[in-house]
Chain A
């Protein structure tokens, strides 16, 4: 599946460099673009700057050099509300993301903040919950759900905003195999652009045809996921290890 070139890219990052106020530099010139409808994995060892990069995508962090463009719209103070609607970030800990007293209100939070109300809001919430198979849990408080369910609701909260691009931070962490598969099915069924930040290499291979490796604050590799995972030297150089017994060649051949 080749990138579609007619529409502007969903995400365009160029020359992004950033240092925290305490002087620690996390990004050293990051360049990549994600075309509309693509599913891309962002791989990298701990401390590579993945989370820092993610927080740049919707303008929570900023002030360094370089630009981020979402569907042709530059990330900056002027379009902040629109950018945050277009970039849906699913954070690693669903407990951080689900802060409202019930699932329904949590899913409604984003669209309501954007000014939606009444029947339109209800419809949006129901559609988002349907897409992750959680429609029956709308009135439940988030902390009464299982971890996998909470992660799915977290995805729904973001889907309800009808984002241009879905950014998932470690979507498979702490999930049991069944929840993992359910989430994969959901993500595959969505027709949005996905950028998935993960350590979980088999999951990346399963879901994303293309992968980026972020290492020491720069993009070290960009190519088909299977090809990257099969390149042992590249993998070793960036502290990426496949789980025991997992062979990407065999997995893609099947």
Chain B
């Protein structure tokens, strides 16, 4: 968390992966991660194959390896955690280089590391090849409650605005010689947070007025729609071919997974 969120995640390019409808990609990414998570941890070769599959997708999407690897850094805390597992886990122990390690812990560490890494890589690829707006449309298409998608879309629309307000408030504080150094300054920070909340909430009220002024009327039920549905401006659709392209990833992963259980 923190600065990492400000990264520009989307990599603009024209590739077969970019061109896929967002909901197919979301479904594929999700299914792939589910398959990865359900693979037995002892089938090490299976994870290697998964990595190869992801590398193929990255290649097709023209996402350079460096970009992907840099984004993988987000899971560093878990790597550290995984490294500690062999020391703290229970069960029979083996001696490696004079250290007493738990066998179970080693497996656990491997499990968390490899599955976590594959999961993060999948998310990174998804975010790198799908625009924010398209992701939201995809989520809506995948039958996420419309209200939830609307909330997410407002959050993304106003995330920058509010972060910017927060930044301006910080600059204003610092311009007057304030620097948060310790617990004594929590009060000042909290006052800023309070002010930020009031601004955010009042902006929410103004946005609502603007919506109402343009005919957003929840009380009149739309035909076949939830009473709160926003007007549908864009409808994303996917052809059978696009679905099959997208689902090629989780399906091939599923084959690997089943082999992993069988062997």
Contacts and interface: CB of A to CB of B under 8 A. Distances in A.
Interface of A: 55, 58, 60, 80-81, 84-85, 87-89, 91, 93, 95-97, 99-102, 104-105, 108-110, 112-114, 117, 121, 141-143, 157-158, 161
B210 A113 contact: no
Given A81-B220, A101-B133, A101-B136, A60 B157 contact: no
Interface of B: 132-133, 136, 153-154, 156-158, 160-161, 203, 206-207, 209-217, 220, 230-234
Contacts of B153: 100-101
Closest 9 A-B residue pairs measured CB to CB? A112-B231, A110-B214, A113-B215, A96-B206, A101-B133, A108-B233, A113-B231, A97-B210, A105-B233
A89 B213 contact: yes
A88 B161 CA distance: 24
Nearest to A89: B213
Contact of B215 (A96, A99, A141, A161): A161
Contacts of A110: 214-215
A114 B154 CA distance: 21
Given A96-B203, A101-B132, A55 B212 contact: no
Contacts of B214: 84, 88, 109-110, 113, 157-158, 161
B215 A85 contact: yes
Contacts of A97: 210
A60 B213 contact: yes
A58 B157 contact: no
B157 A99 contact: yes
A212 B239 CA distance: 58
A91 B206 contact: yes
Nearest to A101: B133
Nearest to B232: A112
Nearest to B213: A89
Contacts of A96: 203, 206-207, 209-210
Nearest to A161: B214
B215 A81 contact: yes
Contacts of B217: 80-81, 84, 113
